[in-house]
Amino acid sequence: MLNETIISICMLAIRQFKDHLPLDGLTHVKRIRKDEHGNYAIIVCLRKHLSDISELAMQEWIKNQPISWEYLGNLYIVQVAATSALTRKQFEVASKYWPISFYEDKRISTAIEGKLFNQEVIQNIYNNMDIAISTALENSMFKIGAVMVDPESNKVLAKASDGRSRNVDSSLLKHAVMTCIDDIGKMHVAVENTNNSSKLPNEESNNQRGYLCTGYDLYVTKEPCVMCAMALVHSRIKRVFYAVEDKEYGALGSRYKIHVHEGLNHHFEVFKNIYRDRCLQLQ
């Protein structure tokens, strides 16, 4: 067949598939592929949508769709990437199965290459996590520590250890992150009171600064839970650095991804595995 004929058949097929068998939620997947031998293949539909019927029944169901099949070849099953690629490496791996589109996020790429922070900043990050680790040791039961830092000055503004014990009647909500946020609030109230009494000229700028954790970084030895992660969203935290993931409760990557949740009005960057081995021993 002539190349032009093949292309027009493909275009027609794609149009029909789009109308009758849309690929919901797979916007990153290209509908058509041309392999190295010049053969074209088009995705008909998702196998998982028809997972409750046999392959034979599926073929039959597909053939019954209002689509002109006469010039199309056999049906077969391929694997495609379930989600869009965030990194070039993911893109390359996924493309081996089926072509997908890829828009490189320069910031993520830079982070993966280890070029996001210079040596001095990296040293500060480790130093701050070190402070979080010593803070964690203040509680003998739940060895979790949190430290709030102003990255502009690399000054530690607040630090807190976990306030819980194994007793169910102890304060179950005194997670290190919550206490750290409380302390920042108290600090800001104290600053405002001082400014009001002495009428310092920077009163205005302090009010502008707000009452939240805007612009601050949090260092914590364990991945924050849903409550703490949402408290950090409410507080408008800038970045979070944590050491060990929490597969059961972790809300910044493990169980949930609150920091990038589309329904929320504030997002922040999260970095993990800082002194992970040391913090694993805390548990």
Partner 1 sequence: MATTGSNSNEWMEIAFELANEALVAGEVPVGCVLVFGNKIIGKGRNEVNEVKNATRHAEMVAIEEAYKWCENNQVRPSVAFSNSQLLVTVEPCIMCSMALRYLHSEAVGLYYKFILITFRLLIADQTVPGLEAERAVTLLKKFYLGQNPNG
Contact pattern from residue 220 through residue 259 relative to partner 1, giving x for each residue in contact according to CB under 8 A and a dash for the rest: -----xxx--xx--xxx-------------------x-x-
Distance in angstroms (rounded) separating the CA atoms of residues 55 and 51: 9
Number of residues binding to Zn ion, judged by CB under 5 A: 4
Q: Could you give the string, one character per residue 112-151, with x where binding to partner 1 holds by CB under 8 A and - elsewhere?
A: ----------------------------------------
182 binds, among partner 1, Zn ion, none (CB under 5 to 8 A by kind): partner 1
CA 60 to chain centre: 40
Residue with tokens 């707000």: 210
Per CB under 8 A, the segment of 68-76, 125-133, 142-150, 168-176 that binds partner 1 is 168-176
At closest approach, how far in Å is the CB of 33 from partner 1?
A: 34
Ramachandran sector of residue 201 (left: φ over 0; alpha: ψ -120 to 50; beta: rest): alpha
Q: Which residue has the tokens 């028809």?
A: 50
Q: Give 253's DSSP letter.
A: T
To partner 1, the closest distance from the beta carbon of 177 in angstroms equals: 10
Which residue from 94, 149, 225, 251 is in contact with Zn ion, where contact means CB under 5 A?
225
By the 10 Å C-beta count (0-12 exposed, 13-18 middle, 19+ buried), 177 is classed as: buried
* Residue 181 contact partner, candidates partner 1, Zn ion, none, CB within 5 to 8 A by sort of partner: partner 1
Query: Strand runs (DSSP E) across the chain, as ranges?
Result: 32-34, 40-42, 145-150, 155-161, 217-222, 239-244, 269-271
Do 218 and 232 meet the contact criterion of CB atoms below 8 Å apart?
yes
**Interacting residues toward Zn ion by CB under 5 A:** 175, 225, 227-228
**Interacting residues toward partner 1 by CB under 8 A:** 168-169, 171-173, 178, 181-182, 184-186, 188-189, 192, 211-213, 225-227, 230-231, 234-236, 256, 258, 261, 263-264
